[in-house]
Amino acid sequence: MTLRVTLPDGSPLELDDGASVRDAAAAIGPRLAKAAIAGRVTAAADPDVTLLVDASAPLRDGDSIAIVTLKGDDPDAADIQRHTASHVMAQAIVRLFPGARYAIGPTIENGFYYDLQLPEPIAEADLARIEKEMAKIVSQNLPVERYELPVDEALAVFGAGEPGTGASGLPLGLDQQFKVELIEDLVTAAEATGDEVPTISVYRQGEFVDLCRGPHLPSTNKLGSGTFKLTSLAGAYWRGDEKNPMLTRVYGTAFPSKEELAAYLEALELARQRDHRRIGRDLDLFSFHEEGPGFPFFHPKGMRLWNAMVDFWRAEHVKAGYEEISTPVILRRELWERSGHWDNYKENMYFTQIDDQPYAVKPMNCPGGLLIYKSRRRSYRDLPLRMAELGRVHRHEMSGVLHGLFRVRYFTQDDAHIYCTPEQLEEEVLGVVRFMQHIYAAFGFADVKIELSTRPDKSIGSDEVWELAEGVLARVLEGESIDYVLNPGDGAFYGPKIDFHIRDVMGRTWQCGTIQVDFAMPERLDISYTGADNEEHRPVMIHRALLGSIERFMGILLEHYGGNLPTWLAPQQVLVLPIADRHAEYAASVMRAVRAAGAEASLTLHADVDDRGESVGKRIRDAQLQKVPYILVVGDREVEQGAVGVRERGEDKGARPLAEFIGDLVAEVRERRLPEAG
> Is the separation of the CB atoms in 115 and 247 below 8 Å?
yes
Residue 77 CA to residue 475 CA, distance in Å, equals 35
Q: Is 497 assigned a catalytic role?
A: yes
CA gap 201, 563 in Å, rounded? 49
CA 378 to CA 372: how far, in whole Å?
A: 11
DSSP code per residue over 226-260: T-EEEEEEEEEEGGG-TTSPEEEEEEEEE-SSHHH
The DSSP 8-state label assigned to residue 58 in this structure reads B
626 is catalytic: no
User: Of 222, 274, 543, 606, which residue is the catalytic one?
Assistant: 543
Q: From the candidates 81, 176, 413, 437, which is the catalytic residue?
A: 413
> How many Å is the maximal CA-CA distance in the chain?
100
How far apart (Å, rounded) are the C-alpha atoms in residues 102 and 79?
Answer: 20
Q: How many CA atoms lie within 13 A of 540 on its CB side?
A: 24
Question: For the purposes of burial, counting CB atoms within 10 Å of the CB of 568, is it exposed (0-12), middle (13-18) or buried (19 or more)?
Answer: buried
179 is catalytic: no
- In angstroms, the CA 127 to CA 133 distance is 10
User: How far apart, in whole angstroms, are the C-alpha atoms of residue 327 and residue 369?
Assistant: 7
Q: How far is C-alpha 187 from the chain's CA centre?
A: 33
Rounded CA gap, 153 and 199, in Å?
Answer: 10
CB 60 within 8 Å of CB 6: no
- Catalytic member of 366, 504, 544, 619: 366
Q: Which of 395, 409, 544, 627 is catalytic?
A: 395
**Count of C-beta atoms within a 10 Å radius of residue 158:** 28
Q: Does residue 505 sit in helix, strand or coil? A: coil
| Residue 132 falls in the annotated catalytic set | no
CB contact set of 655 (below 8 Å; sequence gap of 6+): 637, 638, 641, 643, 644, 645, 646
**Catalytic residue chosen out of the listed positions 317, 417, 552, 647:** 417
Phi, then psi, of 185 in degrees rounded to 5: -65, -40
Decide if 429 contacts 542 (C-beta within 8 A). Answer: yes
Dist CA 646 CA 620 (whole Å): 11
Quote helix, strand, coil % in the chain, to nearest 5. Answer: 40, 30, 35
Q: How many helices (H) and strands (E) are present in the chain, helices listed first?
A: 20, 35
Rounded Cα distance between 327 and 413, Å, is 12
Known catalytic residue: 395? yes
C-alpha to C-alpha distance for 607 and 10, rounded to whole angstroms: 69
Taking CA 279 as the corner, what is the angle to CA 447 and CA 252, rounded to the nearest 5 degrees? 70
Provide DSSP, 462-507: -HHHHHHHHHHHHHHHHHTT---EEETT-SBTTB-EEEEEEE-TTS
Is the N-terminal amide bond of 384 cis, ω within 30° of 0? yes
Catalytic residue among 249, 407, 455, 497: 497
Catalytic residue among 74, 115, 415, 499: 415
Per-residue DSSP letters for 92-127?
HHHHHSTT-EE----EETTEEEEEEE-SS---TTHH
Pure H helices in 160-299: 177-193, 258-273, 276-282
Catalytic residues: 366, 395, 413, 415, 417, 497, 543
